[in-house]
A and B are shown apart, each in its own frame.
Chain A
Amino acid sequence: MKNLVLLSLVFALSTCAKAPPTLTPTGARAWQANEAVLAINQLQEAAIAMNEIQVCPPAPCHPLLSLANTRIVGNTAVAARNAIDQAPASWGATTQTALTQIAMQLDAAGKQVLAAYLTAANAVLFSLR
């Protein structure tokens, strides 16, 4: 198990994303910004999907991710996407701020449900730098 963890870490860290060599510095920044937007979109999709999943027990049946938590993710995602679209060079700070805001605003249940997805989004962000 320990070897599997080590192998996984080596694999993950070795897949740092690089922009295509055909791009100018401006294009490379736009590429990074696009990857960040894709990660934000994936987080939003996950939140929407988990809001659609009904859990019961305990009764009454309720969404796996609450409406309130889903709105936190989606509204923050919109703001981040628009900011990145206006200023692609800000992709790093904007995405990091958005992910931090989401993590801070989620309630305990939301944090638990979205923990892995937030971790993965942060991992994508890290790999882009």
Chain B
Amino acid sequence: MQALILAILTYATPIITKAIGDYRAAHNGAMPTDADIIGTLHANVQAGNSQWAAWLAAHPTP
């Protein structure tokens, strides 16, 4: 139970609130548009896939 609470507080909440905060900070307090969010989605998909591709390259299957 303690682990669950700790995981929620330390992991989930910052992720949820960070995206909007980062965008607003980068855009002088403006709120994102549909195009902004869709672009961000694609970028985060690519970032995750790139990170995994790099890990696979560094850890080839024997």
Contact = CB atoms under 8 A, between A and B. Distances in A.
B16 A15 contact: yes
Interface size class of A (residues with CB under 8 A): 35 or more
A106 interface: no
A106 to B, nearest CB: 16
Given A22-B31, A27-B37, A81-B45, A124 B12 contact: yes
Nearest to A48: B55
Contacts of B6: 116
A44 interface: yes
A34 B39 CA distance: 10
Interface residues of B, number: 37
B5 interface: yes
Interface string A50-63: 00000000000000
Given A38-B19, A127-B12, A116 B41 contact: no
Contacts of A107: none
Interface of B: 1-13, 15-17, 19-20, 31-34, 37-38, 40-42, 44-45, 47-49, 51-52, 55-56, 59
